Amino acid sequence: MTDPAFALTAAMRARLLDHAPVLALLGGGHVFDERPRGANPPYVAFVAHETRDWSVQDAKAHEHFVTLEAMTQRRSRADAQALASAIEQALDNAALPLDGHALVNLRLIFWSVARARNSENYAATLRFRAATEPLS
């Protein structure tokens, strides 16, 4: 059986790569499993994934907190906010198929837009909470 954290991340990434508004804002499929070293913005990267046991007495389950970073190509808060909105549209409450697991829910719980450290560009940080259960 696939690890639930890996299955969730893979499904989220696939959804972003299949969402036309995100791809339009990125100028292509610039969605990465980790912050790309030396890559030019714009891009979206998975920067953190925390998984907790969420089991009940008779059923195994996991709670996940997934953090994404969306980096803009230029000094534009509006670009970062537009990218955050497109990512929210693609993922918030999405019914994603997971390898070996069922997605109970996926919700955006936090996002912020700020100027990126040591850069003229802006970045959006988005944090999602998901619950998963293994398929029977």
Q: Which pLDDT value is given to residue 91?
A: 98
Residue, of 67 and 136, whose pLDDT is higher: 67
Q: Is the pLDDT of residue 118 over 80?
A: no
Asked if residue 116 belongs to a domain, the reply is yes
Q: Which pLDDT value is given to residue 40?
A: 87
Asked if residue 132 belongs to a domain, the reply is no
Asked if residue 45 belongs to a domain, the reply is no
What region, left, alpha or beta, does residue 118 occupy, with left being phi > 0 and alpha being psi -120 to 50 degrees? left
Q: Which pLDDT value is given to residue 1?
A: 58
Asked if residue 112 belongs to a domain, the reply is yes
Domain range for residue 14? 1-33+75-123
Q: Which residues contact 78 (CB under 8 A, 6 or more apart)?
A: none
Asked if residue 43 belongs to a domain, the reply is no
Asked if residue 58 belongs to a domain, the reply is no
Q: Which residues contact 131 (CB under 8 A, 6 or more apart)?
A: 54, 61, 62, 63, 64, 103, 104, 105
Asked if residue 13 belongs to a domain, the reply is yes
Q: Which pLDDT value is given to residue 100?
A: 93
Domain count, the chain: 1
C-alpha angle with apex 86: 82 to 77, nearest 5 degrees? 20
